Amino acid sequence: MRTLERTRPDLSAFLRACRERLLPEEVGLPSGGRRRAPGLRREEVAALAGVGLTWYTWLEQGRDIGVSARFLDNLARVLKLDAAERRHLFLLAHERLPAEPGVTWCVLPPLVRRLMHDLPHPAFVLNLRWDVLGSNSLADEVLGLGAYPQGQRNLLWQMFTNPALHARFVPWEAQALAMLSSFRRDFARATEGTDIHELADELKRVSPEFKMGWEQHDVQPPCGGRLCLTVQGERREFEQTSLIIDESRHLRLVVYVPALQDGKGDGSGPG
């Protein structure tokens, strides 16, 4: 539990605004005829959130009380907050944001697709599960993922099960294990029982190298570093970076840039 400090006025105003924009019928309550103030009453929000009226009133008044992540998640559901509003609520309350349900987003925004194809370097977009939602022709040349159906374009799966991709990375073992440790950070953000967990379980079953690396519990910093790949018989070195393009949907654009001769890196994967 954390107490509220400098954000109490903003939290109070935000909760009041969210409450006042909701109609009773939107949350399954009778309208009750004419109301003196717009939106839901405090007692209605308190009842729907499963807390006492006095406690919720203190919260909305910005009093110095403790709030839990579980309660905030429930309150976000009652107030019908979208992902951005839910994140804002948690930040105002100084709480760590829990993993989003249904985090494996599988739609690539058209503007991001245009940007990706306009880049002069290999680039692709990953979701939280490391599915490749889109790639430009240069990335297809480097990684060869364009040859596979959309449902099979998972970077982690191909890295540990596809001999053709295995042969492109030099040395494969160091770069694959670094990629796995980057994936572990995303795995920790996912809710229990999602397809991300299914992916890890299946990889542990089919890939001894993945299983061994997974059991080491190695976690590396966010991406950066140098990659070495063999492309059409030619050894090429890249420096990589990862740009967040949609934080709430966990989408990021990964770009491989030809490495400078004196550049240094650790090949930590596209996390």
Please determine, for residue 268, whether its predicted confidence score (pLDDT) is greater than 60.
no
Instruction: Please list the residues that pair with 232 across neighbouring strands.
Output: none
- Give the pLDDT score at 157: 94
Please say whether the beta carbons of 132 and 223 come within 8 A: no
Please tell me the distance from the alpha carbon of residue 252 to that of residue 183, in angstroms, as a whole number: 13
Please tell me the distance from the alpha carbon of residue 145 to that of residue 132, in angstroms, as a whole number: 8
Please determine, for residue 235, whether its predicted confidence score (pLDDT) is greater than 60.
yes
pLDDT category, 151, cuts 50, 70, 90?
A: confident
Residues with Cβ within 8 Å of 71's Cβ and at least 6 positions away in sequence, in order, are: 49, 51
Please determine, for residue 116, whether its predicted confidence score (pLDDT) is greater than 90.
yes
pTM, rounded to two decimals: 0.69
Please tell me the distance from the alpha carbon of residue 137 to that of residue 142, in angstroms, as a whole number: 9
Please tell me the distance from the alpha carbon of residue 134 to that of residue 113, in angstroms, as a whole number: 7
Tokens, residue 63: 């009093």
How many secondary structure helices (H) and strands (E) does the chain include?
12, 7
Average pLDDT rounded to a whole number, residues 54-71: 85
SS3 call for 271: coil
Which of 81-90, 114-123, 151-160 is the least confident region? 81-90
**Higher-pLDDT residue of 38, 122:** 122
Closest CA to 89 of 74, 105, 102: 74
- Give the pLDDT score at 263: 46
- Give the pLDDT score at 78: 93
Average pLDDT rounded to a whole number, residues 102-123: 85
Percent of the chain at pLDDT exceeding 90: 42
- Give the pLDDT score at 192: 64
Residues with Cβ within 8 Å of 224's Cβ and at least 6 positions away in sequence, in order, are: 239, 240, 241, 265, 266, 268
